Chain A
Amino acid sequence: MFKELDPLLHSQLRLAVISILIGTEEADFVFIREKTNSTAGNLSVQIEKLREAGYISVEKSFRGRMPRTTCRITASGISAFEKYVDALSGYLNLK
C-alpha cells in the first residue's frame, strides 16, 4: 500500500524550497530565487503557503536600507519532508 504524497510538498517549486532549507540553517529569499530559477512573485506565493502550513518560518529585516527576507525550516517542516521522502521511497521501491 503506497503512502500518500503530501500535496503541499509535491509541487516543483515548494519541494525545491524545502530541499534547500533542509540543508541549510537559513537562506535568503534572493538565494532561493537564484537556485530555483523562479520569479520573485511566484516564489513569494509558494513561500507564503509553506509558512501558513507551519513548514517554514519567515523573518523580514533590513540589511542597511535594503529589505531582507530570511527563511528557515521548522520542526514540522523537517518531519513533513521526512515523511514525503519516505513515501517517495515506497513509490520508487527504494526500501
Chain B
Amino acid sequence: MTEKESLELIGQMISTAKNNLQKGTGKIFLLWGYLVAGISFATISMAKYMPMQNAHNAYYLWFLMFLGMPVHYWLIKKRENERLVMTYIEKLMRWVWIGFTVSILVVVVGMLLDTVILSYFASDMKGSHEFVRWFQWLLLTPFMLCLYGFALFVSGKAYGFKPLVIGGIICFFASFFLLFSIHKTGVVNVQQFVLGVSAVAGFVIPGHMLNRKEHKDV
C-alpha cells in the first residue's frame, strides 16, 4: 500500500459513518407528536362541551402523556438493538434529548407538586392568591414550546435535517406568541391549539418524513 493509497483509504473510511438519524427515530417523533397533538385537540373539544365550572377537568387528559413512556422505552430498545454504529454527534444528541426530557419532567412534576400541595394545605386561598395558584400553568405551554424548539432546532442542525429545523423555529415563534398573548381572555384554549399545531409541525411532519426517508434508504 502506497502512502497516497493510505490517505485515500483513511478519507474513504472516515466518511462511511454518516450522521444520519438512526433508523426507528421517526416512530419516536410520531409517538410524541400524535400524543401531544391528539391530547391538545381533545382537551379543547372536551372543555367546549363540558359545563363551564367543570371545564378545567378536561386538562386531566394530559395525564395520558405518561402512557407514551412505556411505548417510548420499547421503541428506543428496538432502535438500539438495530444500531450498528454510533457517531459522536449521535452520542451528543442523545444527551441533548435526555436533558430535554429531564427539563420537561422537572417543570411538570415541580408544578404538579406545587398545585397538589396548595390544593391540600391552602384550599381556602382567595383572590390574588387563588390567581397565583393557577397562573403558573399558563406559563407551562410557552415554556414547553421553547424546550421543544431548542431540542428540535439543535437536532435538525446537527443531522442536517431541515424539517426538524423548521419545526424548531415554528415552536420558538409559537412560544413567543403565547408569552406575548398570555394576558388575553380565552388564552388557555389558544395555548392548546397552538401546542397541537406546533406538535404537528415539529414532530408529526418530520416524523413521517423520516419514516419515508428510512424506507427509501433501505
Contacts and interface: CB of A to CB of B under 8 A. Distances in A.
Interface stretch (B85-93, B116-124, B185-193, B207-215): B85-93
Contacts of A91: 3
Interface string A1-33: 000010000111001100110111111101100
B14 A23 contact: yes
B67 interface: no
A85 interface: yes
Q: Interface size for chain B: under 10, 10 to 19, 20 to 34, or 35 or more residues?
A: 20 to 34
B218 interface: no
Contacts of B84: 27-28, 30-31
Contacts of A35: 13, 16
Chief secondary structure at chain B's binding surface: helix
B54 interface: no
B7 A31 contact: no
A80 interface: no
Nearest to A89: B7
Contacts of A22: 14
Interface residues of A, number: 25
Contact of B9 (A5, A15, A25, A27): A15
B85 A26 contact: yes
B145 to A, nearest CB: 31
Contacts of B85: 24, 26-28, 31
A88 B13 contact: no
A63 B85 CA distance: 14
A35 B44 CA distance: 52
Q: Which 6 A-B pairs have the closest CB atoms?
A: A19-B13, A31-B84, A91-B3, A28-B84, A23-B14, A35-B16
B17 interface: yes
A18 B84 CA distance: 16
A58 B88 CA distance: 18
Interface string B1-16: 1011011011011111
B53 interface: no
25 contacts: A5-B3, A12-B9, A15-B1, A15-B6, A15-B9, A15-B10, A19-B14, A20-B13, A20-B14, A23-B15, A23-B17, A23-B87, A24-B85, A25-B87, A25-B88, A26-B85, A26-B86, A27-B85, A27-B86, A28-B83, A31-B85, A63-B81, A85-B10, A92-B4, A92-B7
Nearest to B86: A25
Contacts of A5: 3, 6
Contacts of A46: none
A25 B88 CA distance: 5
Nearest to A34: B84
Contacts of B16: 20, 23, 35
A16 B8 CA distance: 10
Residue from A12, A19, A27, A30 whose CB has the most chain B CB atoms within 10 Å: A19
